[in-house]
């Protein structure tokens, strides 16, 4: 990481990194000839290594025969689009699996960016990269920015700041029915254990709860993020409900 590079494990992540021009080296046991060919065609050096050597380089217990190294993809606030329609921000989220899954979900929902402010997990960590399933290279990923600056930048770009909270005064279904979600939106997600920090909740335009119709106490972060992001994605594509 000191060299501003990180490890990319697994065929799917390597494939997406290659397609985005995000690999500088490829190491393989010979298990992925099509990726080796794609790397060579892209001018990326390919090194054939024995399985024990690849295992020593990898973070996973059972690497899948291919591993890449590429430059960090995180950007500062200058990488945030000037007129975003949909953004996800992960404040204090330190579970890399959850964070990577939210990044993947945001990509699938058509989000314009995902923000990992100071205090959130590093999106370049191996577990987060794998959980993102290649989405790390599909949209701007803003990192290393204090949360106050991230909120200010989002507000300057004209998006409504919607904070998720189990005790929020606004109900997600009601917001969708009223057409509020059809406008530019930034969803703010916190940790599963503690939620968003009080100052982030206070800074938001609305504090939104996902309705629970059964007996479950709550949704986990990734599930809640999927519900919220897709509610906005649908509203933005169809307009307000009559």
> In this predicted structure, what is the pLDDT of residue 1?
52
**Could you say which of 48, 71, 94 is where a domain stops?**
71
> In this predicted structure, what is the pLDDT of residue 242?
42
Q: Are 6 and 69 in contact, with CB atoms under 8 Å apart?
A: yes
CA 200/CA 159 separation, integer angstroms: 15
**Could you say which of 71, 93, 110 is where a domain stops?**
71
> In this predicted structure, what is the pLDDT of residue 240?
52
Q: Is the domain of 106 the same as that of 167?
A: yes
CA 188/CA 204 separation, integer angstroms: 8
**Could you say which of 27, 54, 71 is where a domain stops?**
71
CATH number (domain holding residue 161): 3.40.1280.10
Q: What is 63-98 written as a DSSP string?
A: --SEEEEEE---B-GGGS-SS-SEEEEESS---HHH
Q: What is 48-68 written as a DSSP string?
A: E--HHHHHHH-SSSS--SEEE
Structure tokens at 180: 């509020």
Query: Nearest 5°: phi and psi at 153?
Result: -65, -40
Q: What 3-state class would DSSP assign to 171?
A: strand
Q: Is the domain of 176 the same as that of 83?
A: yes
As for how many domains the chain has, the answer is 2
> In this predicted structure, what is the pLDDT of residue 239?
63
> In this predicted structure, what is the pLDDT of residue 218?
86
Q: Are 136 and 103 in contact, with CB atoms under 8 Å apart?
A: yes
Per-residue pLDDT of the chain (242 residues; tens, 9 = 90+): 556 899 999 899 999 999 999 999 999 999 889 999 999 999 999 999 999 999 998 888 878 889 999 999 999 999 999 999 999 999 999 999 999 999 999 999 999 999 999 999 999 999 999 999 999 999 999 999 999 999 999 999 999 999 999 888 999 999 999 999 999 999 999 998 888 999 999 999 999 999 999 999 889 999 999 999 999 999 999 865 44
CA 212/CA 39 separation, integer angstroms: 47
Partner residues linked to 67 by β-bridges: 9, 27
CATH number (domain holding residue 43): 3.30.1330.30
């Amino acid at each position: 990481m000191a060299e501003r590079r990180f490890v990319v494990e697994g065929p799917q992540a390597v494939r997406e990194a290659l397609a985005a021009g995000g690999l500088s080296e490829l190491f393989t046991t010979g298990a992925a000839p099509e990726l080796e060919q794609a790397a060579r065609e892209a001018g990326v050096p390919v090194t054939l290594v024995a399985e024990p050597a690849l295992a020593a380089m990898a973070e996973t217990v059972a690497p899948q025969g291919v591993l890449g190294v590429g430059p960090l993809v995180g950007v500062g606030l200058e990488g945030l689009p000037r007129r975003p329609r949909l953004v996800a921000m992960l404040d204090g989220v330190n579970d890399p699996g959850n964070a990577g899954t939210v990044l993947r979900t945001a990509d699938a929902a058509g989000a314009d960016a995902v923000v990992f402010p100071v205090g959130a997990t590093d999106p370049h960590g191996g577990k987060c990269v794998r959980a993102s399933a290649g989405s790390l290279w599909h949209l701007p990923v803003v990192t290393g920015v204090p949360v106050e600056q991230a909120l200010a930048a989002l507000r300057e770009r004209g998006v409504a700041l919607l904070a998720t909270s189990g005790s929020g005064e606004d109900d997600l279904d009601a917001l969708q029915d009223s057409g509020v979600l059809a406008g530019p939106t930034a969803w703010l997600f916190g940790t599963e254990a503690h939620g968003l920090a009080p100052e982030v909740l206070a800074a938001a335009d609305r504090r939104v709860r996902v309705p629970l119709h059964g007996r479950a106490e709550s949704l986990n972060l990734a599930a809640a993020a999927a519900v919220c992001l897709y509610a906005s994605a649908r509203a933005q594509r169809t307009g307000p409900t009559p």
